[in-house]
Structure 1
Amino acid sequence: MSAFAALSAANYKASVRDKTTVFFTFAFPLLFLVVFGLIFQGQEVAGSGRGYIDYIAPGVLSWGVGNAALFGIAFTLMQWRNDDLLRLIRMTPTPLTTVLGARYTGALVIGLVQAVLFVGVALLPMFGLRLADSWPLALPVLLLGVTAFLSMGVVVGSRANTPEAVAAIANSIMVPMAFLSGSFLPIDLMPGWLQNLSRALPLRYMNDGISAALTGSGDLATIGLSSAALAGFTLVFGVLAVKTFRWSNNS
């Protein structure tokens, strides 16, 4: 078995073995979709002609996928470093790209499963999401979003030395970003200065791109801009990840 296959299998077994992780990866974000969907069932955002579900479904999906990508790699790197697994891996011919690539593949699979699950629930008659013909274009935005948040997670996991530190840092990033980027309420309802601030956040562009593709709220230019912004965030955090990565707590 190759190093990539072995690491991918280890990541998979660790993910499915921990029932708490499975719950917070899939059921917890889906709970937000169900709750908000029921609260605003059949309602439209004033002046837009669009239902709340058109905002909530792409937003919660983006937040759930980004959350899983960031937390997943951050906890894995912290735990493997504390257990000296990274130091042992470093003593083998396995390069860092294989270590991160195995986790990246797992994050993509999780993101795709989340997307299918979230969209499937949102399409139920009780919620009423209607897909636009451009919905396949959500896939490249999803891929770029996973990549961007995974890069952020590498930075968090490389600096935090305890589970508590990972949770504190990651939540400090993802919770404010969820509210400021329009995941839980339409960003059009926010003050202008908050809307401008949200343009500095990767989740804003993931929301915009996936929403434009799934619901037709934007055109190809919106999807292209969102994809380019996510690629830019990936580059920035990728450079930071390379500079901050540690094989052990003593390095």
Structure 2
Amino acid sequence: MSAYSALSQAGYRAHVRDKTTLFFVFAFPLLFLIVFGLIFNGQSVDETGRAYIDYIAPGVMSWGIANAAVFGIAFVLMQWRRDDLLRLIRMTPAPLTAVFGSRYVLAIAIGLVQAVMFVSVALLPVFGLKLAGTWPLAVPILILGITAFLAIGAIVGSYAKTPESVAAVANCMMVPMAFLSGSFFPLDRMPHWLQTLSRIFPLRYLNDGVSAAITGDGGKSDMLLACAALGGYTLVFGLIAMKTFRWSDKS
């Protein structure tokens, strides 16, 4: 068995056995969709009559998937380094690419399952989401988004030394980003300077790209811009993650 396969299987088994993590990864973000969907059922978000579910479903889904990617790898890298597991892995023939690659495949699988769950619930008659013909294009956008946020999580996991610090740093990034990127609140209703500020956040482009693919709002230009921006963020944060990665807290 290759190092990549062994690490992938170990990560999968650890994830499945941790029922609390499974709940917060899948059920907790879904609760936002259910609560907001029921509260604002039948309402529109702008003068064009755009249904609220068409706005909140892609936004909350993107935030939940990005959140899972950041926290997933950040906690793992911190724990493995603190318990000296990374140092032991380094003594084996396993390359650094196998460590990151195993977590990447798991993050992609989790993100796609989350997406299927979100869309399935949003399509229920009580919510009434209607898919556009371009909805399959959301898959590559989501994969690019997961890759970008996985790189961000790797940076957090390389610096944080305790679970508390991982949670503090990750939440300080992801919670404000959710509101400033339009996951929960329409950007059109924000001041112009906040709309401009939101363009520095990768979640803004993930939201816009996924929304354009799923609901058809925005068109292919938004999807292409999202892919380009997320690809750029992946490159930048990925290089930083590789430079800041540490096998041990002692090095």
Sort the TM-score into its range (normalised by shorter chain): over 0.9
SS in 2 for 1:86: helix
Aligned to 2:74: 74
Structure 1, 86-95 or 46-55: larger mean CA deviation: 46-55
CA distance in structure 2 between the aligned counterparts of 1:191 and 1:55, rounded to whole angstroms: 19
Query: Secondary structure, in 3 states, of the residue corresponding to 1:175?
Result: helix
Question: What are the superposed Cα offsets for residues 117-171 of structure 1, whole Å, 9 maximum, x if unpaired?
Answer: 0000000000000000000000010000000000000000000000000000000
Q: Which residue in 1 is equivalent to 2:216?
A: 216
CA distance in 2, matches of 1:247, 1:169: 20
Per the alignment, residue 20 of structure 2 pairs with 20
Q: How does 1:74-113 map to 2 (within 5 A)?
A: 74-113=74-113
Shift of 1:46: 2.7
CA distance in 2, matches of 1:14, 1:184: 31
Superposition CA RMSD, Å:
0.6
What is the identity, as a one-letter code, of the residue corresponding to 1:37?
G
- Structure 1: distance between partners of 2:109 and 2:163: 24
Give the whole-Å Cα distance in 2 for the aligned partners of 1:22 and 1:48: 38
Q: Which portions of structure 1, spanning 4 or more consecutive aligned residues, are displaced by more than 2 angstroms?
A: none
State the secondary structure of the residue aligned to 1:199. Answer: helix
Identity %: 70
Any residues of structure 2 matched to 1:179-190 within 5 Å, and which?
179-190=179-190
Matches within 5 A, 1:37-186: 37-186=37-186
Structure 1, 71-80 or 7-16: larger mean CA deviation: 7-16
Q: Tell me, in whole angstroms, the C-alpha distance in 2 between the residues paired with 1:143 and 1:67.
A: 14
Q: Which amino acid aligns with 1:128?
A: G
Normalised by the length of structure 1, the TM-score is: 0.99
Deviations 1:191-245 (A, max 9, x none): 1111100000000000000000000011111100001000111111111101110
Q: Distance in 1 between matches of 2:207 and 2:48?
A: 17
Query: By how many angstroms is 1:19 displaced?
Result: 1.1
Unaligned stretches of 5+ in structure 1?
A: none
Q: Which amino acid aligns with 1:101?
A: G
Q: If the length of structure 2 is used for normalisation, what is the TM-score? A: 0.99
Number of residues paired by the alignment? 251
Distance in 2, Cα, partners of 1:4 & 1:48:
50
1:3 aligns to 2:3 (yes or no): yes
Q: Distance in 2 between matches of 1:117 and 1:231?
A: 25
SS at match of 2:125: coil
CA–CA separation in structure 2 for the residues paired with 1:130 and 1:104: 30
Specify the alignment match of 1:230 in structure 2: 230
**Structure 1: distance between partners of 2:91 and 2:140:** 36
CA distance in 1, matches of 2:32, 2:118: 10
Give the whole-Å Cα distance in 1 for the aligned partners of 2:98 and 2:136.
29
Alignment-derived partner of residue 193 in structure 1: 193
